[in-house]
Structure 1
Amino acid sequence: MSNAGDWAGRDLGERQVSYDERDAILYALAVGAPADDLDLVFEERLRVLPTFALTLAQWAPDALGSAGAFDIRTAVHGAQRLDVRAPLPRAGSFTMKASVANVWDKGSAAVFEVAVESEHFVATWSLFAPGAGGFGGQRGPSSPAAPAAPDLELELPTRPEQAALYRLLGDRHHMHVDPAAAQAAGQPRPFLHGLCSVAAVTLPLAASLGAHPADLTSLSARFAGPVFPGDVLSVGATTDRAAASASFTATVGDRAVLTGCSASFA
């Protein structure tokens, strides 16, 4: 494994991506859209969820790990940000470019920030790589402050088949479906993708703010712990209803799973 600091600023190339209405509908169902929400599941009225972009851009962090920047067996997806530039079309094809925006030195670990840009969005992955730190780099920004006391509480059940369904969108890491792979990753059983969990929260959150989930303009989240299919997320949000925005966290029982999250809608 090379010096982590040497990867900062590295160009990861471009990728042409294509999708159709079926892909966007499958995504909406995978993150919990109900079958009667025709804006999300019916091609004649389809509005594509902005978080679908994260499945299209997944190739970039995977490519970085495969290139030897860090040990893909131990690295974890620590945080995610999405900034929306323009709505995704129902179906289409466009080009994305990716780079390593930053590499932060956390001492015993490094955090790689992988940015993917297109005409429709900017998506930034933060990948926590144990054992890759100590190269003399900057520590990077601190964790966001805890939000004020929530004024909105939501209960969001996940489904037993949700991880298996979400895998069909491109992130087919075995730990999300194979018990042996999950145990090798230190988990007792297959667990839900963090991106699926946080995207699922945006649906009821948008409704509570009087917004449409397809009008998401920005989203950020830190992944604090695993969500297992069938878990019920308890979401606490501090809202600004005039701005259609919220800061939120999510727990399963007394265990934090999403922290430092925020979402804004047009």
Structure 2
Amino acid sequence: MTAVQQKSTGLEQSETAPSSWRGADLGTRTVAYTERDAILYALAVGAKATDLDLVMEDRLRVLPTFALTLAQWAPDALGSQGAWDTTTALHGSQELTVLAPLPRSGEIALSARVGEVWDKGAAAVFEIVVESEYFVATWSIFAPGFGGFGGERGPSKPAGPSGDPALTTDLVTAENQTALYRLLGDMHHIHIDPAAAAVIGQPRPIMHGLCTLAAGTLPLARELGVHPADLTRLSGRFAAPAFPGDTLPIRGWRSESGVDFEVGGAITGAHAEFGA
């Protein structure tokens, strides 16, 4: 799991029971972006200068995972309302379903709500769902100390794939990858400042979990012989931190609907599907 990427707002923690947040409306927001933002995102998750349809305006295809940066305001909004302790909460997993290709630039209306709130005993798990005409994205936030409220435990962690992987490749991260990715809005110091990383027990700044997950889809797509912009579904669990400059092995197991995969020890239980 990775630390939830938000700063403490200074608000006192809410006395509201975690279960009362289930179904809460987090409002709507219209987000705007330019072709330059989409290109910066592609570079930040590992696109090469030769990937012209990811980094050149004239033929630009926007990576579907760019949607996750546009929707990051929703889990931040819930945390700022005191649903969990923003200093200890962890981003446990992420899902993305693509409904239509993102335009090269423009404005997108997003609506957000709280989905289920599960009681894991020692912690609560909050699902935050963001919907638009282009995608549905679901964050799962693990909140230590907020469990034990008598709710349902929710689904168990799925069993990992068995047998030898059908494909193997590597995710080669860049030394400056987090410095680029943070320019897309997640400015948490643990991704750039060694002193901040040390506070959470890390030897140096760590990769953004969403960056690692998205970056893994590029070499995965190349290995499958598909285009990363044809991604239609993605999910994964954040199991451990990764560091910029690391080379992370990717292992994949083909399934009926796509490919199950893992990225080193950082991303586990992941699944991706690509369209034509």
TM-score band w.r.t. shorter chain: over 0.9
The match for 2:272 is 263
Take 1:37 and 1:165, find their aligned partners in 2: how far apart are those partners?
17
| 1:66-215 → structure 2 map (5 Å cutoff) | 66-149=80-163, 150-215=165-230
Amino acid at match of 2:167: L
Amino acid at match of 1:161: N
Percent of matched pairs sharing the same residue? 63
| 1:4-19 → structure 2 map (5 Å cutoff) | 4-19=18-33
Amino acid at match of 1:119: E
Amino acid at match of 1:121: F
Work out whether residues 169 and 223 of structure 2, in 8 Å CA contact, stay in contact via their aligned partners in 1. no
Structure 2, gaps ≥5 residues long:
1-12
* Mean CA deviation greater in 70-79 or 147-156: 147-156
Size of the aligned set, in residue pairs, is 260
Per the TM alignment, residue 184 of structure 1 is displaced from its structure 2 partner at its CA by: 2.0
Structure 1, gaps ≥5 residues long:
none
The match for 1:223 is 238
Runs of 4+ displaced beyond 3 Å: none
SS in structure 2 at match of 1:44:
helix
The match for 1:250 is 263
Per the TM alignment, residue 183 of structure 1 is displaced from its structure 2 partner at its CA by: 2.0
Q: Deviations over 1:163-221 (max 9, x none)?
A: 11100011111211122222222322210001100111111111221211000000000
Q: Deviations over 1:46-83 (max 9, x none)?
A: 00000000000000011111111001111111100000
Work out whether residues 170 and 219 of structure 2, in 8 Å CA contact, stay in contact via their aligned partners in 1. no
The match for 2:4 is none
SS in structure 2 at match of 1:101:
strand
Amino acid at match of 1:247: D
Aligned-residue CA RMSD in angstroms? 1.1
Q: Could you tell me the TM-score, scaled by structure 2's length?
A: 0.92
Take 2:193 and 2:154, find their aligned partners in 1: how far apart are those partners?
35
Amino acid at match of 2:69: T
Take 1:187 and 1:14, find their aligned partners in 2: how far apart are those partners?
36
Amino acid at match of 1:178: D
Per the TM alignment, residue 151 of structure 1 is displaced from its structure 2 partner at its CA by: 1.1
